[in-house]
């Protein structure tokens, strides 16, 4: 039993919930926490000076990406649905343990997809210049800009989530929780802050500091892994070690550790 049962279908909630979670969670970072300079990885001055795209363009880009996500998500649910009407049997959920296993499998699939697509977009000069460089216009990432990217990249990312949904065998209802958590984790990775009370970046080594290294010039060919684990960077030799140190004035800094060889 879930709170939306009887009001909207699981498929509709699987599309709506991640978008709502995005704006609520990213908005919390953007509107409630901007004054907490002691937890920022970059100063607000750096954010203003280094970023190459205005805030209103970022919001517009995110809305376009979410429209694409909704369209592709609707198509995937339509293609994988066995009937146009939701029956009690279709609402039957597997055990909690089974759902957790499906979510972990989906996380691993998303990580593999994201790593190799992301890495290829950096190494293919045409794709980087025409597509992926749009995301890197945010040299200093912030929460609302998490999904700011080129529409082509948005399609690749969304298809990767669809592949994870299909291969993991999760139901639309389970996908609501998976994709909502995926959004929370991805916003955390781009928020540019290390909050002591936020347990998500403490549980996952692949966090805001890890991804901040990738947005730095020296680290742009490293730390490709998104969104949950750093497995593929370590397997493929693209992991850039770093340490988090206190920055002069206020806040933190992800400082690169010189690689040997």
Is 190 in contact with 208 (CB distance < 8 Å)? Answer: yes
pLDDT for the residue numbered 113: 98
pLDDT for the residue numbered 31: 87
Per-domain residue ranges of the chain: 10-256
Q: C-alpha dihedral over 199, 116, 112, 179, to 10 degrees?
A: 60
pLDDT for the residue numbered 37: 87
pLDDT for the residue numbered 84: 42
Q: How is residue 61 written in tokens?
A: 């880009």
pLDDT for the residue numbered 259: 59
pLDDT for the residue numbered 91: 59
Which residues lie across from 253 on neighbouring strands? 245
> How many C-beta atoms lie closer than 10 Å to residue 239's C-beta?
19
pLDDT for the residue numbered 34: 72
pLDDT for the residue numbered 88: 46
Tens of pLDDT, residue by residue over 84-134, are: 444 444 558 999 999 999 999 999 999 999 999 999 999 999 999 999 999
Residue numbers in the chain where pLDDT is lower than 70: 82-91, 258-261
252's enclosing H/E stretch is strand 252-256
Residues 6+ apart with CB under 8 A from 18: 69, 179, 180, 182, 183
């Amino acid at each position: 039993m879930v709170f939306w049962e009887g009001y909207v279908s699981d498929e509709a909630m699987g599309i709506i919930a991640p978008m709502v979670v995005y704006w609520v969670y990213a908005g919390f970072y953007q509107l409630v926490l901007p004054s907490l300079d002691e937890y920022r990885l970059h100063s607000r001055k750096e954010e203003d000076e280094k970023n190459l795209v205005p805030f209103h363009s970022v919001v517009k880009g995110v809305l376009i990406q979410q429209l694409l996500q909704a369209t592709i998500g609707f198509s995937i649910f339509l293609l994988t649905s066995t009937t146009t009407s939701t029956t009690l049997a279709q609402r039957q959920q597997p055990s909690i343990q089974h759902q957790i296993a499906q979510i972990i499998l989906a996380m691993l699939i998303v990580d593999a997809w994201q790593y190799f697509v992301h890495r290829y977009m950096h190494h293919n000069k045409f794709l980087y210049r025409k597509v992926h460089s749009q995301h890197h216009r945010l040299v200093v990432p912030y929460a609302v800009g998490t999904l700011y990217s080129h529409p082509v990249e948005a399609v690749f990312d969304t298809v990767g989530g669809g592949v994870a949904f299909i291969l993991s065998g999760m139901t639309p209802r389970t996908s609501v929780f998976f994709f909502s958590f995926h959004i929370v984790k991805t916003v955390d990775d781009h928020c540019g802050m290390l909050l002591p009370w936020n347990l998500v970046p403490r549980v996952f080594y692949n966090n805001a500091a890890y991804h901040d290294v990738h947005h730095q010039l020296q680290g742009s060919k490293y730390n490709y892994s998104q969104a949950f684990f750093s497995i593929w960077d370590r397997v493929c030799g693209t992991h850039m070690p770093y340490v988090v140190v206190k920055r002069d004035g206020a806040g933190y800094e992800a400082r690169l550790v010189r690689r040997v060889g």
